[in-house]
Structure 1
């Protein structure tokens, strides 16, 4: 039966598999749903790192500031 979600196939080291299984049991979830949750968290952290870099690049001394009204015209 087709699914609307894309499937990926991962090969993980034994120790990572053990930890993932333990976390899934602890949270009463399937291993795949726990893996998905952890991947989503990791992607959010990566996004935060990129956005932090953008903010740091923009936050410099001597730059010209634009008024809020001007920026949203």
Structure 2
């Protein structure tokens, strides 16, 4: 059956492969589903780190602030 999802081939180190097997068994899901979930979590973490880095650059003693009302005009 055709799928609209993009498929990729990746080579996993043995320890990563074993961990995906263990976690997928624990959660009673297919290995591909567990791998996708872990990739999605990693992307969220990476995105959070980028947003945090931007916020830290802006968070200075001379930073100006807007009121909530002004920010949503």
Secondary structure of the residue aligned to 2:22 is helix
Q: CA RMSD in A?
A: 1.3
Q: TM-score, normalised by structure 1?
A: 0.87
Q: Deviations over 1:1-58 (max 9, x none)?
A: 3211111111101111111101101100000000000000000000100000111111
Which residue in the other structure is 2:45 paired with?
Answer: 45
Which residue in the other structure is 2:60 paired with?
Answer: 60
Residue segments in structure 1 that go unaligned for 5+ positions in a row: none
| Runs of 4 or more above 2 Å deviation | 63-73
Q: 1:66 Cα shift?
A: 3.5
Secondary structure of the residue aligned to 1:38 is helix
Residue segments in structure 2 that go unaligned for 5+ positions in a row: none
